[in-house]
Structure 1
Amino acid sequence: MSLEGGLSRRRCLVGGAAAAGALAALSLPQAAHAGAQIEEPLIDSVRTALSSAVHNKAPPVPEFSSTEARLTYLRWLGEMSERLKKKIADWPTRKEFLQTAWYEAKRSGLDVSLVLGLIQVESNFRKFAVSSAGARGYMQVMPFWTRVIGDSDPAKLFHMQTNLRFGCVILRHYLDRENGDLYMTLGRYNGSRGKAPYPNAVFANQRLWTFVDRDRSAA
Structure 2
Amino acid sequence: MSPVAPMDAPGLSRRLCLGGAAAGVLALALPTPALAGAQIEEPLIDSVRTALSAAILNNAPPVPEFKDTESRLAYLRWLGEMSERLKKKLPDWPSRKEFLQTVWYESRRAGLDVSLVLGLVQVESNFRKFAVSSAGARGYMQVMPFWTRSIGDGNPSTLFHMQTNLRFGCVILRHYLDREAGDLFMTLGRYNGSRGKSPYPSAVFANQRLWVFKDSRPD
TM-score (norm 1): 0.85
Q: Distance in 1 between matches of 2:170 and 2:101?
A: 14
**Which structure 2 residues correspond to residues 72-87 of structure 1 after superposition, within 5 A?**
72-87=74-89
Q: Is the partner of 2:120 in helix, strand or coil?
A: helix
Q: Deviations over 1:110-141 (max 9, x none)?
A: 00000000000000000000000000000000
Match of 1:203 among 194, 202, 205: 205
Aligned to 1:186: 188
Distance change in 2, residues 1:191/1:114 (3 Å):
same
Give the aligned residue type for 1:211: F
Aligned to 1:23: none
Q: Is the 8 A contact 1:117 1:205 kept in 2?
A: yes
Q: Is the partner of 1:214 in helix, strand or coil?
A: coil
1:160 aligns with 2:158: no
Distance change in 2, residues 1:47/1:3 (3 Å):
farther
Runs of 4+ in 1 over 4 A off after TM superposition: none
Give the aligned residue type for 2:86: L
Match of 2:99 among 97, 100, 104: 97
Aligned to 2:60: 58
Q: Deviations over 1:5-53 (max 9, x none)?
A: 359xx9xxxxxxxxxxxxxxxxxxxx95511100000000000000000
**Which structure 2 residues correspond to residues 1-219 of structure 1 after superposition, within 5 A?**
4-6=7-9, 33-215=35-217
Distance change in 2, residues 1:101/1:39 (3 Å):
same
Give the aligned residue type for 1:4: M
Q: Deviations over 1:126-178 (max 9, x none)?
A: 00000000000000000000000000000000000000000000000000000
Number of equivalenced pairs: 194
Give the aligned residue type for 2:82: M
Q: Is the 8 A contact 1:33 1:131 kept in 2?
A: no
Give the aligned residue type for 1:5: D
Q: Deviations over 1:44-83 (max 9, x none)?
A: 0000000000000100111100111000000000000000
Q: Distance in 2 between matches of 1:108 and 1:59?
A: 14
Give the aligned residue type for 2:7: E
Q: Is the 8 A contact 2:118 2:208 kept in 1?
A: yes
Q: Is the 8 A contact 1:76 1:211 kept in 2?
A: yes
Q: Is the partner of 2:65 in helix, strand or coil?
A: coil
Aligned to 2:29: none
Give the aligned residue type for 1:58: A
Q: Is the 8 A contact 1:147 1:153 kept in 2?
A: yes
Give the aligned residue type for 2:217: D
Give the aligned residue type for 2:89: K
TM-score (norm 2): 0.85
Q: Distance in 2 between matches of 1:77 and 1:101?
A: 11
Give the aligned residue type for 1:111: D
Q: Deviations over 1:73-117 (max 9, x none)?
A: 000000000000000000000000000000000000000000000
Q: Is the 8 A contact 2:62 2:105 kept in 1?
A: yes
Identity of aligned residues (%): 79
Q: Distance in 1 between matches of 2:62 and 2:9?
A: 17
Runs of 5+ unmatched residues, structure 1: 11-30
Q: Distance in 2 between matches of 1:6 and 1:197?
A: 26
